[in-house]
Amino acid sequence: MMKLRALRTKVGISAAAVALSGAGLGLATATPASAAYAGYCNGWASKAMSGATHLVAKLPAYNGNINCQMYRGASNNGVKALQIALNECYSRSLTEDGIFGDKTKTALIYAQGQEDIGTDGGYGYDTRTNIGWYFKNTTGSGGICAYL
């Protein structure tokens, strides 16, 4: 009985979509949240700290644009930039190998929890703007953790 009811609903929705398209109208579809992103992070970009000429952080980026996203399974220099920040700013002990595996995801969830943002273990706008980044001193050793 439930399967038939579900089938009827699907058929009804499909028929409505066909009728609307025949009338020159279409069903409104939501734009995916990822549409605002430049793309899936595929590398890193340097960002100088505002007001500090010798402090530079590496951030995940998509072709140089830091507005990108990535998840478990990614493997690139953007992941390595994230791992550096997690190690330096959140005292995680990740191998900085550029592989977004279970340990990187767990460390990211920890950082997201520390910053009181969604703890989904994925990297995107909210994570980028709310976690600390390691700004390395380009004239010597050391650096500081700061927000963007």
Q: What is the CATH classification number for the domain harbouring 97?
A: 1.10.101.10
Structural domain of 55:
37-146
Looking at per-residue pLDDT, the higher value among 111 and 50 belongs to: 111
Domain assignment present for residue 90? The answer is yes
- The DSSP code for 117 is S
Q: What's the pLDDT score for residue 68?
A: 96
pTM, rounded to two decimals: 0.75
Phi-psi region of 71 (alpha: psi -120 to 50; beta: other; left: phi over 0): beta
Amino acid making up residue 73: G
* Cα–Cα distance for residue pair 75/83, rounded to 1 Å: 11
Domain assignment present for residue 68? The answer is yes
Domain assignment present for residue 105? The answer is yes
Domain assignment present for residue 1? The answer is no
* Cα–Cα distance for residue pair 119/142, rounded to 1 Å: 29
> Half-sphere exposure of residue 39, counting CA atoms within 13 Å on the CB side?
10
Domain assignment present for residue 135? The answer is yes
Domain assignment present for residue 15? The answer is no
- Neighbouring C-beta atoms of residue 138, cutoff 10 Å: 12
Q: What's the pLDDT score for residue 51?
A: 84
With contact defined as beta carbons under 8 Å apart, do 34 and 15 qualify?
A: no
What are the tens digits of pLDDT across the range 89-148? 999 999 999 999 999 999 999 999 999 999 999 999 999 999 999 999 999 888 999 999
Domain assignment present for residue 32? The answer is no
Q: How many domains does the chain have?
A: 1
Domain assignment present for residue 70? The answer is yes
